[in-house]
């Protein structure tokens, strides 16, 4: 039986965007609220932290080295030390009300970043894409909290979720990776948890961190729940695959907005967990500039 365990002795504020570097055999992740990108090398135990001037919504490793990172006000290219070197574009949302949130890359090495509408009074967030030539495009709107970005290995589907609205979407992609009309993949009822960050495995199944649901769920390409893995914390935020065979699931969790009593009762809130699984995940590509 697979054993869930903490990656190492660490708890963050709002860890998100776990990203496995196959080349380095290391895990990267962001702590959004603290404005940090972390790197942990499991074999050596080396843990490094890069500090940024604003919240780090999401990021991707660059093929040329360094990062593409979505801060509250803008998307930037950085060097390997996290130094901001080139502003790609401003946040197309109102950055005072909608910071960047979940994101990642597609099979063509383009970068996607969604926003989260903090007031929660209507669907004021969006999802945007940065092409390989650094041209930005808003590709979806009518979202309250963009999350759950993942791409099928056959490049035919883009998955995304709207966490406050408890829905996972699936959008068809043409042969150039351009999105068509999105449709509902799965809608969740109260008490099931809300779909947060996600990843896809080589069998085409979608793994979702169920925020406020104490669990990770795996769904078939038809939206049927196949498996679930219970957690000792209430709010997982995202998953990614990694390890030498891409069969380790890394799970970020949060302690954001938790009172002292809950943190004391569930002290692993904010930890990163590892879970061995029987199926390999689809590898994330770096951001590719041309």
The ranges assigned to domains in the chain are 5-276
List pLDDT tens digits, range 101-142.
Answer: 999 999 999 999 999 999 999 999 999 999 999 999 999 999
Residue by residue, DSSP assigns 171-203 as EEB-TT--B---EEEEE--TTS-EEEEEEEBTT
Q: What is the DSSP letter of 54?
A: S
Per-residue pLDDT 10s for the chain (290 aa) are 578 999 999 999 999 999 999 999 999 999 999 999 999 999 999 999 999 999 999 999 999 999 999 999 999 999 999 999 999 999 999 999 999 999 999 999 999 999 999 999 999 999 999 999 999 999 999 999 999 999 999 989 999 999 999 999 999 999 888 999 999 999 999 999 999 999 999 999 999 999 999 999 999 999 999 999 999 999 999 999 999 999 999 999 999 999 999 999 999 999 999 999 999 999 999 999 99
Residues 220, 206: Cα–Cα separation, whole Å = 7
Strand order in the sheet with 272-276: 5-6, 272-276, 248-253, 236-242
Buried b (16+ CB within 10 A) or exposed e, 53-85: ebbbbbbbbbeeebbbbbbbbbbbbbeeebebe
Q: Which residues are catalytic?
A: 196
Which neighbouring-strand residues pair with 48?
39
Residues 82, 80: Cα–Cα separation, whole Å = 5
Q: What pTM was computed for the model?
A: 0.97
Residues 104, 147: Cα–Cα separation, whole Å = 10
Residues 27, 45: Cα–Cα separation, whole Å = 11
CATH class of 5-276: mainly beta
Residues 50, 36: Cα–Cα separation, whole Å = 6
């Amino acid at each position: 039986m697979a054993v869930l365990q903490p990656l190492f002795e660490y708890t963050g504020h709002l860890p998100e965007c776990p990203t496995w570097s196959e080349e380095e055999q290391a895990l990267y992740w962001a702590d959004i609220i603290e404005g940090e990108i972390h790197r942990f090398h499991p074999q050596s135990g080396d843990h490094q932290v890069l500090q940024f001037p604003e919240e780090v919504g999401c990021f991707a490793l660059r093929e040329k080295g360094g990062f593409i990172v979505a801060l509250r006000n803008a998307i930037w290219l950085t060097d390997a030390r996290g130094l901001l070197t080139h502003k790609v574009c401003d946040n197309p949302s109102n950055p005072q009300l909608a910071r960047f949130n979940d994101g990642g890359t597609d099979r063509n090495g383009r970068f996607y970043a969604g926003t989260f509408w903090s007031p929660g009074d209507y669907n004021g967030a969006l999802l945007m894409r940065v092409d390989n030539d650094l041209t930005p495009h808003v590709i979806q709107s009518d979202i309250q909290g963009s999350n759950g970005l993942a791409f099928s290995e056959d490049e035919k589907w883009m998955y995304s979720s709207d966490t406050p609205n408890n829905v996972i979407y699936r959008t068809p992609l043409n042969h150039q990776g351009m999105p068509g009309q999105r449709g509902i993949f799965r809608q969740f009822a109260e008490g099931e948890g809300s779909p947060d960050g996600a990843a896809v495995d080589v069998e085409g199944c979608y793994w979702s961190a169920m925020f406020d649901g104490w669990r990770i769920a795996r769904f078939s390409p038809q939206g049927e729940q196949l498996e679930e893995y219970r957690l000792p914390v209430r709010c997982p935020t995202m998953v990614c695959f990694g390890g030498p065979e891409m069969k380790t699931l890394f799970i970020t969790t949060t302690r954001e907005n938790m009172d002292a009593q809950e943190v004391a009762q569930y002290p692993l809130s904010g930890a990163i967990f590892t879970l061995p699984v029987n199926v390999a995940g689809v590898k994330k590509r770096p951001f590719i500039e041309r």
